[in-house]
């Protein structure tokens, strides 16, 4: 494709992640809305959706015309002393948690993201933090949305990871309308979108002072919450809010437990382990654009945070972070926090961070190269790591193909079951799909034993 890709081209090519960057730059009538699969997508006049512009295609995070993460990081962190293909450029990396207990208790991992954002507010380095907070689903059906918090109390009320579609257009409008200094929290492609916008718009460059990235495995559609409700024996309309990862001393950190708060004051819970679609690795409800992503750790963020999925940290129910610091300013704040005893962090190297994200990195390196080699038609993404073992072993090829297929079909089968008001249609399919995936990925069950006997690596 030679012309600059338009929003509609990106959507049709499965490359729109729904970040809202294009809508933030659009005429008044454009908005982000849920599509039939519960994913946020741009909506507006047909003319706007069809018309590409050089600027739009430079600022869409999955556009082949946008600068890639390496180029952005080189501009943003030119003096970073360290570089590694898994984590990008960086000043320092750590594992641990916040020692100020309320942050760790309230956070999904070790509480570092909220602590860092709070520290920026406490030190008056920013006036507001754009992050994701619970919303009232009764107003427009959304359970979470971006909002600007201006106090530590507001910020803390928004702690925890939300595996739910959100978008930046409204919060970017707020940042443009209300003078001040801001930080933005986001998953890697959202932070990339923010950095691309900062390159184009001096006002955003001036106002967005810091970016706080979250490591990311993939983004899920809103149907995951509906499926959670179905499997908990409640209707989605009965839900008031969701805690995707409720902590408890009875469960180690990586045994996720979802808590659903109902409108009538009751609550119910479900271990992800017992969900038909609760295996993160199987890719249920994954956004198609995630198949074309090559950034696990938010390489363009000033600092980024993930879960320490290695022992002994993974077993500690209270949660632990891995942290990658890229901005020298934030590196100083982290060092001060450690010196004051407010952070309990130990320095680690990039290999340690990569080991905590081994599965995500395989999917975004070897898996990406494999998927891109098979991709036909539409806008062709321009990615790094395309020659990264483009011919994986047969079992790994099967895993990548099954994951992509489960993602694609989960959207469709759920849509049909929802339309027919027959959750069982989706749940039976999801269990069968998960069993097939588990046989190949983990050699589980009789088919798994066969896969093992065949010696598939
Ligand atoms: C979709 C998604 C996928 C993830 N995948 C991985 C993964 O594969 N590996 C891994 O190690 N970690 C992953 N994470 C990050 C991990 O879940 C934790 O968010 C991270 O470790 C920070 O934990 P914390 O205790 O420091 O944050 P907390 O103190 O709980 O603060 C979290 C902050 O992030 C904000 N936030 C929550 N959800 C979103 C969102 N969707 N978009 C923008 N801001 C948000 C909150 O408002 C809050 O400010 C993912 C997060 C998300 C949202």
For residue 376, being part of any structural domain is answered with no
Contact (Cβ atoms closer than 8 angstroms) between residue 72 and residue 195: yes
Shared domain check, 130 and 91: yes
Mean pLDDT within 336-352? 98
For residue 374, being part of any structural domain is answered with no
Q: How many domains does the structure of the chain reveal?
A: 2
Shared domain check, 406 and 354: no
For residue 238, being part of any structural domain is answered with no
Measured in Å, residue 215 CA sits from the centre of ligand 1 at 7
Q: Which residues contact 311 (CB under 8 A, 6 or more apart)?
A: none
Interval 62-105: pLDDT, tens: 999 999 999 999 999 999 999 999 999 999 999 999 999 899 99
For residue 114, being part of any structural domain is answered with yes
* Residue at which a domain ends, from 362, 394, 429: 362
How many residues are listed for the chain in this entry? 457
CA distances from 233 to 202, 228, 396 (A): 50, 9, 36
Interval 223-233: pLDDT, tens: 999 999 999 99
Measured in Å, residue 393 CA sits from the centre of ligand 1 at 32
Shared domain check, 26 and 90: yes
Shared domain check, 110 and 169: yes
Shared domain check, 317 and 189: yes
Q: Which domain holds residue 73?
A: 7-220+285-362
Cα(15)–Cα(1) distance, integer angstroms: 14
Cα(214)–Cα(33) distance, integer angstroms: 24
pLDDT at residue 212 greater than cutoff 80: yes
Interval 420-441: pLDDT, tens: 999 999 999 999 999 999 999 9
- What is residue 265's predicted lDDT score, i.e. its pLDDT? 95
Shared domain check, 302 and 170: yes
Interval 152-202: pLDDT, tens: 999 999 999 999 999 999 999 999 999 999 999 999 999 999 999 999 999
Shared domain check, 206 and 114: yes
| Ligand 1 atom nearest to CA at 109 | 25
Cα(42)–Cα(61) distance, integer angstroms: 14
Instruction: Work out the end-to-end distance of the chain between its first and last CA atoms, rounded to an integer number of angstroms.
Output: 38
For residue 256, being part of any structural domain is answered with no
Take atom 3 of ligand 1 and give the residue whose Cα is closest. 216
For residue 59, being part of any structural domain is answered with yes
Interval 5-55: pLDDT, tens: 999 999 999 999 999 999 999 977 899 999 999 999 999 999 999 988 999
For strands 182-186 and 128-134, give the pairing. Answer: parallel
- What is residue 388's predicted lDDT score, i.e. its pLDDT? 73
Shared domain check, 389 and 357: no
Sheet strands side by side (includes 128-134): 144-149, 128-134, 182-186, 208-214, 303-307, 321-325, 92-98, 343-348
Mean pLDDT within 128-156? 96
Cα(371)–Cα(29) distance, integer angstroms: 36
| Ligand 1 atom nearest to CA at 321 | 21
Q: Confidence class of residue 140 from pLDDT cuts 50, 70 and 90?
A: confident
* Residue at which a domain ends, from 295, 327, 362: 362
- What is residue 447's predicted lDDT score, i.e. its pLDDT? 81
| Ligand 1 atom nearest to CA at 217 | 8
Shared domain check, 390 and 358: no
Q: Which H or E run includes 55? A: helix 54-59
Mean pLDDT within 308-322? 96
Alpha helices in 162-209 (DSSP H): 169-177, 188-200, 202-207
pLDDT > 90: percent of the chain: 89
Take atom 17 of ligand 1 and give the residue whose Cα is closest. 161
Determine the 3-state secondary structure of 149 from DSSP: strand
Q: Confidence class of residue 453 from pLDDT cuts 50, 70 and 90?
A: confident
Interval 316-329: pLDDT, tens: 999 999 999 999 99
Contact (Cβ atoms closer than 8 angstroms) between residue 209 and residue 82: no
Cα(43)–Cα(23) distance, integer angstroms: 8
Measured in Å, residue 288 CA sits from the centre of ligand 1 at 20
Whether a cis peptide bond, with omega within 30° of 0, leads into 312 is yes
Shared domain check, 301 and 157: yes
Q: Confidence class of residue 457 from pLDDT cuts 50, 70 and 90?
A: low
Q: Is 146 in the pocket of ligand 1 (CB under 6 A)?
A: no
| Ligand 1 atom nearest to CA at 356 | 11
Interval 255-307: pLDDT, tens: 999 999 999 999 999 999 999 999 999 999 999 999 999 999 999 999 999 99
Measured in Å, residue 161 CA sits from the centre of ligand 1 at 4
Take atom 31 of ligand 1 and give the residue whose Cα is closest. 159
Q: Is 221 in the pocket of ligand 1 (CB under 6 A)?
A: no
Query: Residue 278: which of 255, 249, 308 has the closest Cα?
Result: 255
Q: Ligand 1 pocket test: which of 100, 146, 148, 161 has the largest number of ligand atoms within 8 Å of its C-beta?
A: 161
CA distances from 60 to 16, 65, 340 (A): 8, 8, 41
For residue 241, being part of any structural domain is answered with no
Q: Is 214 in the pocket of ligand 1 (CB under 6 A)?
A: yes
Measured in Å, residue 254 CA sits from the centre of ligand 1 at 14
- What is residue 389's predicted lDDT score, i.e. its pLDDT? 66
Shared domain check, 68 and 193: yes
Measured in Å, residue 366 CA sits from the centre of ligand 1 at 24
For residue 215, being part of any structural domain is answered with yes
* CA 274 to chain CA centroid, nearest Å: 22
Interval 385-427: pLDDT, tens: 888 766 788 999 999 999 999 999 999 999 999 999 999 999 9
């Amino acid at each position: 494709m030679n012309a600059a890709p338009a929003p509609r081209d990106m959507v049709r090519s499965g490359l729109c992640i729904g970040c809202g960057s294009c809508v933030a730059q659009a005429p008044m009538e454009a908005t982000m809305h849920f599509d039939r699969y519960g994913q946020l997508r741009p909506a507006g006049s047909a003319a706007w959706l069809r018309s590409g512009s050089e600027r739009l295609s430079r600022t869409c995070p999955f556009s082949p015309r946008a600068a890639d993460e390496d180029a952005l990081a080189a501009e943003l962190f030119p003096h970073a002393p360290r570089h590694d293909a898994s984590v990008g450029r960086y000043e320092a990396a750590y594992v641990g948690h916040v020692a100020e207990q309320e942050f760790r208790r309230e956070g999904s991992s070790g509480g570092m993201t909220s602590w860092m954002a709070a520290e920026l507010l406490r030190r008056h380095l920013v006036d507001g933090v754009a992050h994701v907070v619970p919303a009232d689903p009764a107003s427009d059906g959304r359970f979470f949305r971006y909002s600007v918090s201006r106090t530590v109390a507001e910020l803390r009320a928004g702690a925890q990871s939300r595996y739910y579609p959100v978008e930046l257009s409204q919060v970017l409008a707020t940042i443009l309308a209300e003078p001040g200094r801001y930080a933005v929290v986001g998953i890697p492609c959202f932070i990339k979108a923010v950095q691309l916008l900062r390159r184009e718009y001096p006002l955003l460059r001036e106002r967005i002072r810091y970016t706080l990235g979250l490591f990311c495995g993939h983004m899920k559609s809103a149907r995951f919450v509906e499926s959670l409700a179905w499997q908990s024996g409640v209707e989605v309309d009965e839900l008031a809010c969701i805690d995707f990862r409720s902590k408890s001393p009875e469960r180690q950190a990586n045994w996720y437990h979802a808590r659903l708060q109902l409108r009538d004051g009751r609550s119910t819970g479900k271990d992800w382990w017992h969900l038909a679609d609760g295996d993160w690795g199987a890719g249920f409800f994954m956004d198609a654009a995630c198949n074309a992503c090559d950034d696990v750790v938010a390489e363009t963020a000033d600092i980024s945070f993930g879960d320490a999925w290695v022992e002994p940290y993974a077993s500690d129910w209270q949660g632990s972070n891995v942290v990658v610091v890229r901005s020298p300013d934030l590196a100083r704040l982290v060092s001060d926090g450690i010196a004051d005893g407010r952070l309990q962090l130990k320095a680690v190297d990039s290999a340690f961070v990569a080991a905590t994200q081994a599965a995500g990195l395989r999917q975004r390196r070897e898996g990406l190269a494999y998927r891109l080699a098979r991709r036909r038609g539409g806008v062709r993404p321009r990615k790094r790591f395309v020659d990264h073992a483009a011919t994986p072993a047969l079992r790994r090829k099967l895993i990548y193909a099954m994951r992509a297929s489960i993602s694609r079909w989960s959207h469709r089968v759920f849509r049909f079951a929802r339309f027919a008001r027959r959750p069982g249609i989706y749940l039976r399919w999801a269990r069968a799909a998960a069993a097939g995936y588990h046989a190949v990925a983990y050699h589980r069950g009789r088919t798994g034993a066969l896969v093992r006997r065949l010696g598939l690596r």
